[in-house]
């Protein structure tokens, strides 16, 4: 029995290691390309062992276009504030929905789900946010549109609540005289750490990786988040690929198209902070398991 368990662990770990390689190998190629000298990259093709190492892509990003640091700080602030706001709204909405006895539950769930299917498109949202709420070129533009609460995460949380929180627990708390808010805060939330941490991670990623809000609502460089800055470079290439007349006109200018190395460095710079921070989140998963065990 012990032996079988051990061999299972070996096989399971082996499969996971293969999977990790599958996910990481392209990322390694990404990093290597970002430090390969441009000419040798174009001439020799992509390779895991660079012929000539060259950090000029990073130098360009960090030194020459100096706004990167400010972009990082802005992104960090937006991510933290946005995640807290989102989780507050999401939890407050998901909990009542998870209550089987709530009158009008189906209608409310439909009200929520409907927003996933239909949207009026960019133009009406833009008009509303800029003309009614005047968020253009303010930090609110990075926080409010689209990201502050989404049906997807509310439904995920509701599903978790319905399946993992027994009605009896809530009933017991009510008999003890606790109000609904108190039940949510003191009983339900502690039992839901795994989903809260998971959603915090996913929402946080959503805010960190978002550049559309920056693209539509910001055109002052002091409010460019890191992803906006990085994506701008990639977007200029896209634009030139689809617009030959501007491309021809730009030929003679000092307009330097980002080289392959810079494109790759851009990706690394956007992903790296998350990779550094992510492991810190993980201990909460472990905590989630313990709580799960205790509750039974």
Minimum separation from the CB atom of position 273 to another protein (A): 10
Select 73 or 221, whichever has its Cβ closest to another protein: 221
Shorter beta-carbon distance to another protein: residue 77 or 271: 271
Residue 146: left (phi > 0), alpha (psi -120 to 50), or beta? left
Can residue 12 be called a binding residue for another protein (CB under 8 A)? yes
83 binds another protein (CB under 8 A): no
Beta carbons of 169 and 191 less than 8 angstroms apart: yes
Cβ 141 to another protein, closest distance in Å? 12
Site residues (CB under 8 A) for another protein, limited to 111-150? 111-113, 115-128, 130-131, 136, 144-146, 148-149
| Helix 193-209 with 260-295: angle, nearest 10 deg | 170
The dihedral region occupied by 160, where left means phi > 0, alpha psi between -120 and 50, and beta the remainder, is: alpha
Rg, the chain, Cα only: 24
Closer to another protein by CB, 14 or 73: give it: 14
Rule CB under 8 A: is residue 3 a binding residue for another protein? no
Q: Choose between 55 and 113: whose C-beta lies nearer to another protein.
A: 113
The footprint of another protein on residues 36-75 (CB under 8 A) is: 38-48, 60, 64-66
Kindly state the number of chain residues that form the binding site for another protein, as judged by CB under 8 A: 148
Restricted to residues 179-218, the positions that interact with another protein (CB under 8 A) are: 179-181, 184, 192, 194-195, 197-198, 201-202, 205, 209, 215-216
Residue 263 CB, nearest approach to another protein (Å): 6
Q: In which residue are the tokens 């939330």 written?
A: 189
Nearest 5°: CA angle at 267, between 264 and 271? Answer: 145
What is the length of the chain?
A: 296
Among 2, 3, 100, 168, binds another protein (CB under 8 A): 100
Residue of 54, 88, 188, 226 that binds another protein (CB under 8 A): 88
Residue of 54, 139, 159, 169 interacting with another protein (CB under 8 A): 159
Nearest to 32 by CA among 21, 17, 48: 48
Q: What gap in Å lies between CA 6 and CA 4, rounded to an integer? A: 5
Nearest to 31 by CA among 221, 290, 267, 230: 267
């Amino acid at each position: 029995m012990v032996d079988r368990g051990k061999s299972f662990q070996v096989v399971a770990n082996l499969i996971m290691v293969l999977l990790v390689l599958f996910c990481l190998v392209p990322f390694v190629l990404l990093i290597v390309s970002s430090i390969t000298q441009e000419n040798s990259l174009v001439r020799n093709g992509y390779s895991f062992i660079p012929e000539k190492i060259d950090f000029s892509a990073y130098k360009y990003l960090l030194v020459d276009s100096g706004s990167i640091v400010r972009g990082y700080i802005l992104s960090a602030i937006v991510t933290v504030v946005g995640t807290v706001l989102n989780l507050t709204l999401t939890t407050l909405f998901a909990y009542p929905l998870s209550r089987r006895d709530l009158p009008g539950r189906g209608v409310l769930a439909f009200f929520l789900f409907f927003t996933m299917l239909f949207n009026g498109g960019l133009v009406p949202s833009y008009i509303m946010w800029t003309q009614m709420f005047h968020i253009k070129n303010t930090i609110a533009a990075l926080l409010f549109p689209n990201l502050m609460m989404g049906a997807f995460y509310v439904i995920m949380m509701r599903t978790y609540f319905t399946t993992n929180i027994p009605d009896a627990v809530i009933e017991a708390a009510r008999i003890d005289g606790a109000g609904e808010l108190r039940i949510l805060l003191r009983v339900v939330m502690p039992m839901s750490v795994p989903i809260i941490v998971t959603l915090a991670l996913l929402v946080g990623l959503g805010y960190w990786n978002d550049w559309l809000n920056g693209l539509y609502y910001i055109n002052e460089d002091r409010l460019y988040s890191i992803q906006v800055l990085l994506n701008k470079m990639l977007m200029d290439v896209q634009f030139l690929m689809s617009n030959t007349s501007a491309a021809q006109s730009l030929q003679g200018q000092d307009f330097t198209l980002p080289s392959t190395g810079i494109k790759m460095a851009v990706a690394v710079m956007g992903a790296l902070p998350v990779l550094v921070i992510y492991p810190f989140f993980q201990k909460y998963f472990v905590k989630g398991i313990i709580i799960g065990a205790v509750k039974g």
